[in-house]
Amino acid sequence: MLSPIQVLCSDITTLSLEPEPFASYTEADIISTVEFNHTGELLATGDKGGRVVIFQREPESKIEPFSQGEYNVYSTFQSHEPEFDYLKSLEIEEKINKIRWLPQQNAAHFLLSTNDKTIKLWKVSERDKRPEGYNLKDEEGRIKDMSTVTSLQVPVLKPMDLMVEVSPRRVFANAHTYHVNSISVNSDYETYMSADDLRINLWHLDITDRSFNIVDIKPANMEDLTEVITAAEFHPHHCNLFVYSSSKGTLRLCDMREAALCDKHSKLFEEPEDPSARSFFSEIISSVSDVKFSHSGRYLLTRDYLTAKVWDLNMESKPLETYQVHDYLRSKLCSLYENDCIFDKFECAWNGSDSVIMTGAYNNFFRMFDRNTKRDVTLEASRESSKPRAVLKPRRVCAAGGKRRKDDISVDSLDFTKKILHTAWHPNENIIAIAATNNLYIFQDKLNSEMH
């Protein structure tokens, strides 16, 4: 049996879901979030233009029963429009910051999408029949003259071409003073939370005109502000627990049973800083950009600028595992600070069994770490890998001044404008989605049956 890392290195097929993946693009086309639904059959992306594109996995072919279904465009809709706050004279971008799916309860699908200020609940449904034979309307939907109605008929449903309808069901607005960076659906499926730089609010999915503030770290005097909230997520199984990360590199686990306002955390996860390694950039690179609970709920995965860390909920003093994502950039921090790349926010993801983690890097590279074998691999989402049935080859970056092998890439030749910030992993299978600027790559393992 091959390990996940071995399979992902040697036997992955690639799909590029842009019709012309390498054509010119605008700022609005840049993908800003990627999210599988709970079954993995649907995949949603949001972009800086406020659009949401949903991809659906095609059923397996009867001719090739072991072939994986590909993902094709299912629906596209405009989720958010640019707005203007007249009181503060601020433009509100239409960029989609996060998308979260609700577990499917019936034939329809529901998802939450948010920009900097407003969260919306969308219903995605299918219609393949239409009613015909109205008594009071004609075929074009106009009301008939009642005097012309001489007989009554029973309306019937006639088959029609499949139509995917997307409609807004709720709009949750006016609750955040600062930019929303996270939304997370609770395991009770009735509530969700939204987090901005200084506050976290708890919402009921049916109530739009009020929310409950559960975390508020805003000081009385803003000059005393030392940290901001960077990400937040509910526990996958316990509806009373949630975690949030900060720009200081700390994680706070909160229990909503203890108090209505969770200003006092239940647990604080923090790694002591090595005084000898402290530099001007220490605080910037220690800021946590993403936090994810494992599917089991036992572990936390975090990403800061240079590392990915796995924390055990039962051990607060230090991370259980630390993985160097691109340690070769330590010598480049000064130039990365000058071009603002040091402030990039990379996301991270677990595989379905919590045995492998994934996160992005520069030059369209992304990294995978096998927690069991401690092996790691660097892969690239590129023009070559987007060809049908392409095989991904491991890549290696040579640090400045290091010995360079054949096919190694020098750290000086990395393209920092090409960055993999957003990734997602299918909840059950070895299928990953990688957002590279305006292109979405789906890498799927042909030996999926070997994986579990």
CA atoms within 13 A on the CB side of 168: 14
Arithmetic mean of pLDDT, 373-392: 79
Structure tokens at 450: 């070997």
- The confidence score (pLDDT) of residue 89 equals 80
d(CA 442, CA 272): 38
- The confidence score (pLDDT) of residue 19 equals 47
- Would you place residue 21 in the very low, low, confident or very high pLDDT band (cuts 50, 70, 90)? very low
Structure tokens at 386: 């987007």
d(CA 105, CA 165): 17
Q: Count the helices and strands in the chain (H runs, E runs).
A: 4, 32
| Residues 291-329 as b or e (16 or more Cβ within 10 Å = b) | bbbbbeeebbbbbbbbbbbbbebeeeeebebebebbebb
pTM of structure: 0.86
2 pLDDT higher than 80: no
d(CA 296, CA 235): 9
Do residues 70 and 15 make contact, with C-beta atoms less than 8 angstroms apart?
A: yes
Chain centroid to CA 172: how far?
20
List, for residues 146-187, the tens digit of each pLDDT value: 777 777 778 777 777 778 899 999 999 989 999 999 999 999
Do residues 76 and 124 make contact, with C-beta atoms less than 8 angstroms apart?
A: no
- Would you place residue 23 in the very low, low, confident or very high pLDDT band (cuts 50, 70, 90)? low
Instruction: Flag the least confident range among 239-248, 255-264, 373-382, 387-396.
Output: 387-396
Which residues, at least 6 apart from 210, have a Cβ–Cβ distance to it below 8 Å? none
**Helix H or strand E segment including 7:** helix 4-10
Full strand arrangement of the beta sheet holding 321-324 = 290-293, 299-303, 307-312, 321-324
Q: Name which of 317, 258, 252 is nearest 291 in CA terms.
A: 252
Most confident by average pLDDT, 15-29, 103-117, 131-145: 103-117
Do residues 95 and 79 make contact, with C-beta atoms less than 8 angstroms apart?
A: no
Q: Cα–Cα distances in Å, from 402 out to 332, 363, 365, 415?
A: 14, 19, 20, 19
Where do we find the tokens 């992306």? 45
Q: Name which of 15, 12, 17, 53 is nearest 33 in CA terms.
A: 53
Residue 99: strand pairing partners: 113
Do residues 379 and 328 make contact, with C-beta atoms less than 8 angstroms apart?
A: no
Sign of dihedral through CA atoms 141, 143, 149, 152?
positive
- Would you place residue 142 in the very low, low, confident or very high pLDDT band (cuts 50, 70, 90)? confident
- The confidence score (pLDDT) of residue 451 equals 34
- The confidence score (pLDDT) of residue 405 equals 73
Do residues 358 and 423 make contact, with C-beta atoms less than 8 angstroms apart?
A: yes
- Percentage of the chain lying above the pLDDT 70 cut: 88
- DSSP codes of every residue in 218-262: --SSGGG----EEEEEE-SS-TTEEEEEETTS-EEEEETTT-SS-
d(CA 48, CA 438): 10
450 pLDDT higher than 80: no
- The confidence score (pLDDT) of residue 64 equals 56
Arithmetic mean of pLDDT, 11-29: 61
- The confidence score (pLDDT) of residue 25 equals 77
Arithmetic mean of pLDDT, 197-215: 95
d(CA 371, CA 418): 27
- The confidence score (pLDDT) of residue 386 equals 62
- The confidence score (pLDDT) of residue 137 equals 75
239 pLDDT higher than 60: yes
Q: Which residue has the higher pLDDT, 404 or 184?
A: 184
- Would you place residue 67 in the very low, low, confident or very high pLDDT band (cuts 50, 70, 90)? low
Instruction: Flag the least confident range among 126-140, 269-283, 375-389.
Output: 126-140
Q: Which residue has the higher pLDDT, 386 or 344?
A: 344
List, for residues 33-58, the tens digit of each pLDDT value: 999 999 999 999 999 999 999 999 98
Instruction: Give the chain's mean pLDDT.
Output: 86
Q: What is the DSSP letter of 116?
A: S
- Would you place residue 387 in the very low, low, confident or very high pLDDT band (cuts 50, 70, 90)? low
Chain centroid to CA 353: how far?
18
If one counts every other C-beta atom within 10 angstroms of the C-beta of residue 197, the result is 18
Arithmetic mean of pLDDT, 427-449: 80
90 pLDDT higher than 90: no
- The confidence score (pLDDT) of residue 276 equals 76
List, for residues 284-305, the tens digit of each pLDDT value: 999 999 999 999 999 999 999 9
- The confidence score (pLDDT) of residue 1 equals 28
Beta strand spans in 247-394 (E): 251-255, 267-269, 290-293, 299-303, 307-312, 321-324, 348-350, 356-360, 365-370, 376-380
Structure tokens at 169: 């069901």
- Percentage of the chain lying above the pLDDT 90 cut: 63
- The confidence score (pLDDT) of residue 381 equals 87
Helix, coil or strand: residue 349:
strand
